[in-house]
């Protein structure tokens, strides 16, 4: 309601007023205190005068009456006291003794004293009667009366003075009481105010301290945080510097060493070989280079995984090192290729002995995950100066010799000889152009239609890879697929085919064309590759291809290589909703029991059985049996390599489901399939062979295009 400052001001003013009042009243009280003895003295003086006067009068009269000198002595004792009392009274009221009344009183008193003195002399002379008469004479009484009247007046004045002084004192005392109360109020109020002030000051100090302590805590926390950040950052920087150093050291190490085996790498080996060639040149000595390639290492990698492959390589590196002398050197060039340099060996025999030692070391059993493996190597040897006088030539010729060793059946070694060169170089050139084909976009996928036996409609296609070499033109798959399979390139190539086929299928669907089954071939290497499933999954996800339209074609021989693993992979595909087709059926270990073991949807009768239909009785029987077997297991039967009307009729009569072959079309580019699908009647109510009806028109053109 009131502003705190107003309250404070009012309180201070009130305290000031009360203090002033209290101070004033206190002065009155002090004054009254001073008055009190004066009043007391006045009253005592009054009493003394009366009393001493009576004592003197009585002593004089008694002396006169008795003649006893004791009374005179008593008189003499009290006489000065009366004088003293009268002087005191005059001091207390000097005015009262001025004037004629005072003079008369004084004179009367002097006369009385004189008469009394005379009376004493008389007594001493024994004239007591004379003395009595003197003291009862009229003169004596007259003076007594004057003196008494004067004294009465004097008493009245003193009494008046003391009375007024007393009432003044009482007033002072009352004011003093007020002062005491005021002082009490002042003290209480003042104390309360001071208490309130002190409490407020305390609260202020506490609040200030709290804020300061909060600020201090916040500052401490900030300081701590800063300390922590600084220390963390310092650690990070120290770690970064350490890591940087390590990385730099590691990078330097990796620049010249192989990270897996820690052996020198290709560039380090080149340097060392260069130096050794120069030395051999100066000293007129020989120098051998041994190229070592593990046989079928890629199979280990693909079937057991890269981890196992890495362990194998590390073990092989250690074994190769153990074959060397102190002056020799071994390096890993990459993959499963190692190279050794032996400057200290002379002659073919010593080199052959080293090659044998290497082959023996590599061939020792290798145990991995409780399984024993046997790996072999092929070794190619070139010798300075006969097979080359520089590092590059020696390396190239050792490589060629190594290919020769492989050609000779692997697990062996071969010395370089110039005649080898042409053949091996061709093979190397072919391999390297195959490696470049994928990057160089030299591959295409063509599609061969599969036709429904009853309607003649195209109900599916098989994706077939085509390679057009920039210099040599089209290369048949039968030539490059086995090489790609051998060197492992089939894995990335096969992935590309699958992705291309899936994209094409989605594109046809987006054009509104009828859905086809898209068959894609898998090679053995691909099938057992650890990344196959994840590759298929991601390709389906990336392209948006519906798995139900994808059919993966595999061969019986592939399945029989590792039936357990194969069954696992096939079931995983089935879980994804992908169809599975068994290619080249009848050429391998075809049996009903095998067929039942695997979740196969389609079997393809190999074209070798179709070729001589219907004339060849054996092919007729086989084809009949294969179709019957497939039907028993509710599988779709596709006949491959259908080229003649006779084959069609035989197959249709034996309840084959689909045809694939040149009779209808070779594998053609996607655009041709687009045209064929667009021209194809959507329905065929009569169940006639619609495609044959138009066969001559489109099949010829398709054939022409494919050719
Ligand atoms: N792993 C992969 N293998 C593939 C891929 N692309 C092809 N191949 C395999 O290469 C082999 C040769 O194939 P290709 O030269 O394409 O021959 C196919 C057809 O053109 C041929 N064919 C079809 N109809 C007839 C016919 O009426 N007569 C006749 N003489 N030949 C015909 O058959 C091959 C298809 O055979 P198949 O795969 O067994 O169905 C071949 O083994 C291909 O599999 C690929 O991308 N990956």
Q: For 312-367, write each residue's pLDDT tens digit.
A: 999 999 999 999 888 889 999 988 999 999 987 778 888 889 999 999 999 998 88
Region 183-204 average pLDDT? 76
480-504 burial, b at 16+ Cβ within 10 Å, e below that, comes to bbeebbeebbbbebbbbbbbbbbbb
Of the segments 32-41, 82-91, 643-652, which one has the largest average pLDDT value?
643-652
What pLDDT sits at residue 424?
A: 66
Ligand 1 mean position to 429 CA, how many Å?
A: 25
On whether the CB atoms of residues 470 and 442 are closer than 8 A, the answer is yes
Report residue 446 as tokens.
């063509």
Which atom, in ligand 1's list, is nearest to the CA of 445?
46
Which residue, among 343, 179, 340, has the nearest Cα to 277 in the 3D structure?
A: 343
**521 pocket-lining for ligand 1 (C-beta < 6 Å):** yes
**685 pocket-lining for ligand 1 (C-beta < 6 Å):** no
Ligand 1 mean position to 464 CA, how many Å?
A: 6
**481 pocket-lining for ligand 1 (C-beta < 6 Å):** yes
Residue whose CA is at the smallest distance from ligand 1 atom 13: 477
What pLDDT sits at residue 174?
A: 77
Of the segments 126-140, 161-175, 498-512, 672-686, which one has the largest average pLDDT value?
498-512
What pLDDT sits at residue 563?
A: 85
Ligand 1 mean position to 700 CA, how many Å?
A: 19
* Phi, psi of 247, deg, nearest 5: -60, -45
**640 pocket-lining for ligand 1 (C-beta < 6 Å):** yes
Q: What is the pTM of this model?
A: 0.51
Which residue, among 490, 557, 498, has the nearest Cα to 525 in the 3D structure?
A: 490
Which residue, among 389, 392, 401, 269, has the nearest Cα to 329 in the 3D structure?
A: 269
Q: What 3-state DSSP class applies to 662?
A: coil
Q: What 3-state DSSP class applies to 107?
A: helix
Region 40-45 average pLDDT? 79
Is beta strand 337-342 parallel, antiparallel or unpaired with respect to 371-373?
unpaired
**586 pocket-lining for ligand 1 (C-beta < 6 Å):** no
Diameter of the chain by CA atoms?
216
Cα separation, 10 vs 193, whole angstroms: 11
pLDDT digits (tens, 9 = 90+) for 140-151: 889 888 888 877
Ligand 1 mean position to 457 CA, how many Å?
A: 21
Is beta strand 658-659 parallel, antiparallel or unpaired with respect to 636-639?
parallel
On whether the CB atoms of residues 295 and 376 are closer than 8 A, the answer is yes
* Phi, psi of 367, deg, nearest 5: -100, 125
Report residue 655 as tokens.
């309840």
What pLDDT sits at residue 470?
A: 86
pLDDT digits (tens, 9 = 90+) for 261-271: 999 999 999 99
Which residue, among 632, 661, 673, has the nearest Cα to 517 in the 3D structure?
A: 673
Which atom, in ligand 1's list, is nearest to the CA of 667?
20
What pLDDT sits at residue 198?
A: 77
Region 288-304 average pLDDT? 84
Which one of 521, 550, 643 would you pick to mutate in the ligand 1 pocket, going by the greatest count of ligand atoms within 8 A of its CB?
A: 521
Kindly indicate the confidence band of residue 413, based on its pLDDT and cuts at 50, 70 and 90.
very high
Cα separation, 129 vs 569, whole angstroms: 177
Ligand 1 mean position to 512 CA, how many Å?
A: 28
Residue whose CA is at the smallest distance from ligand 1 atom 46: 465
Which one of 434, 475, 477 would you pick to mutate in the ligand 1 pocket, going by the greatest count of ligand atoms within 8 A of its CB?
A: 477
pLDDT above 90 coverage of the chain, percent: 39
Ligand 1 mean position to 641 CA, how many Å?
A: 9
Which one of 437, 443, 461, 464 would you pick to mutate in the ligand 1 pocket, going by the greatest count of ligand atoms within 8 A of its CB?
A: 464
Distant-in-sequence contacts of 700-703, Cβ < 8 A, 24+ apart: 701/672, 702/664, 702/665, 702/666, 702/668, 702/672, 702/676, 703/662, 703/665, 703/666
What pLDDT sits at residue 638?
A: 96
**460 pocket-lining for ligand 1 (C-beta < 6 Å):** no
Radius of gyration over alpha carbons of the chain, in Å?
Answer: 72
Kindly indicate the confidence band of residue 95, based on its pLDDT and cuts at 50, 70 and 90.
low
Residue with tokens 């022409």: 704
**606 pocket-lining for ligand 1 (C-beta < 6 Å):** no
Region 501-528 average pLDDT? 95
pLDDT digits (tens, 9 = 90+) for 593-622: 777 889 999 999 999 999 999 999 999 998
CA 129 to the chain's CA centroid: 141
Cα separation, 253 vs 482, whole angstroms: 38
Which residue, among 394, 458, 401, 456, has the nearest Cα to 425 in the 3D structure?
A: 401
Cα separation, 73 vs 182, whole angstroms: 59
What pLDDT sits at residue 99?
A: 59
Residue whose CA is at the smallest distance from ligand 1 atom 35: 464
What pLDDT sits at residue 691?
A: 43
* Phi, psi of 390, deg, nearest 5: -145, 165
- Find residue 337's DSSP bridge partners: 293, 334
Interacting residues of 500 by C-beta distance below 8 A, sequence separation 6+: 445, 463
Q: What 3-state DSSP class applies to 347?
A: helix
Cα separation, 145 vs 5, whole angstroms: 76
């Amino acid at each position: 309601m009131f502003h705190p400052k107003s309250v404070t001001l009012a309180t201070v003013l009130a305290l000031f007023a009360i203090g002033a009042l209290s101070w004033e009243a206190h002065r009155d009280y002090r004054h009254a205190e001073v008055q009190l003895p004066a009043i007391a003295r006045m009253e005592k003086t009054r009493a003394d005068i009366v009393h001493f006067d009576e004592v003197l009068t009585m002593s004089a009269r008694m002396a006169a009456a008795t003649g006893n000198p004791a009374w005179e002595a008593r008189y003499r004792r009290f006489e000065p006291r009366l004088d003293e009392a009268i002087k005191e009274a005059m001091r207390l009221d000097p005015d009262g003794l001025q004037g004629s009344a005072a003079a008369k009183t004084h004179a009367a008193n002097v006369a009385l004293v004189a008469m009394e003195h005379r009376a004493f002399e008389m007594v001493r002379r024994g004239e007591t009667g004379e003395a009595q008469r003197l003291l009862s004479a009229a003169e004596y009484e007259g003076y007594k009366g004057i003196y008494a009247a004067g004294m009465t007046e004097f008493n009245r004045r003193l009494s008046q003075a003391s009375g007024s002084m007393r009432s003044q004192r009482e007033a002072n005392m009352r004011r003093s009481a007020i002062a005491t109360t005021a002082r009490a109020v002042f003290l209480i109020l003042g104390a309360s105010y001071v208490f309130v002030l002190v409490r407020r000051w305390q609260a202020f100090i506490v609040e200030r301290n709290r804020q300061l302590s909060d600020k201090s805590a916040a500052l401490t926390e900030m300081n701590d945080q800063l300390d922590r950040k600084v220390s963390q950052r310092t650690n990070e920087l120290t770690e970064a510097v350490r890591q940087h150093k390590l990385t730099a050291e590691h990078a330097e190490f990796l620049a010249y060493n192989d990270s897996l085996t820690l052996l020198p790498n290709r560039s380090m080996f080149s340097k060392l070989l260069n130096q050794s060639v120069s030395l051999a040149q100066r000293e007129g000595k020989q120098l051998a280079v041994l190229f070592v390639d593990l046989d079928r290492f890629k199979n280990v990698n693909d079937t057991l995984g890269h981890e196992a492959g890495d362990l194998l390589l590390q073990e092989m590196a250690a074994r190769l090192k153990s074959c060397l002398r102190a002056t020799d050197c071994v390096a890993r060039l990459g993959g499963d290729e190692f190279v050794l340099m032996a400057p200290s060996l002379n002659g073919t025999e010593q080199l052959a002995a080293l090659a044998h030692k290497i082959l023996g070391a590599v061939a020792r059993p290798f145990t991995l995950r409780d399984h024993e493996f046997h790996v072999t190597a092929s070794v190619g040897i070139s010798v300075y100066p006969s097979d080359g006088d520089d590092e590059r030539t020696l390396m190239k010729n050792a490589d060629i010799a190594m290919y020769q060793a492989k050609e000779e059946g692997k697990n062996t070694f071969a010395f370089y000889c110039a005649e080898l060169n042409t053949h091996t170089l061709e093979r190397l050139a072919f391999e390297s152009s195959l490696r470049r084909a994928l990057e160089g976009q030299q591959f295409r996928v063509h599609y061969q239609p599969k036709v429904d036996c009853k309607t003649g409609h195209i109900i599916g296609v098989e994706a077939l890879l085509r390679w057009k070499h920039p210099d040599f033109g089209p290369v048949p798959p039968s030539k490059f697929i086995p090489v790609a399979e051998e060197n492992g390139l089939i894995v990335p190539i096969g992935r590309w085919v699958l992705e291309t086929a899936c994209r094409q299928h989605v594109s046809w669907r987006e054009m509104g064309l009828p859905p086809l089954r898209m068959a894609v071939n898998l090679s053995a290497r691909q099938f057992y590759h650890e990344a196959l499933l994840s590759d298929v999954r991601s390709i389906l996800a990336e392209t948006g291809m519906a798995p139900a339209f994808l059919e993966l074609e595999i061969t019986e021989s592939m399945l029989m290589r590792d039936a357990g693993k194969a069954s696992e992979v096939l079931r995983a595909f089935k879980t994804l909703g992908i169809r599975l087709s068994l290619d080249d059926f009848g050429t391998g270990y075809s049996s009903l029991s095998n067929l039942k073991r695997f979740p196969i949807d389609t079997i393809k009768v190999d074209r070798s059985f179709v070729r001589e239909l219907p004339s060849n009785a054996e092919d007729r029987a086989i084809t009949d049996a294969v179709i019957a077997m497939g039907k028993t297991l509710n599988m779709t039967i596709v006949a491959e390599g259908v080229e003649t009307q006779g084959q069609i009729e035989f197959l249709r009569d034996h309840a084959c489901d689909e045809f694939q072959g040149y009779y209808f079309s070779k594998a053609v580019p996607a655009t041709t399939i687009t045209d064929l699908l667009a021209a194809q009647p959507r329905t065929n109510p009569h169940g006639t062979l619609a495609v044959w009806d138009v066969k001559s028109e489109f099949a010829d053109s398709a054939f022409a295009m494919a050719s």
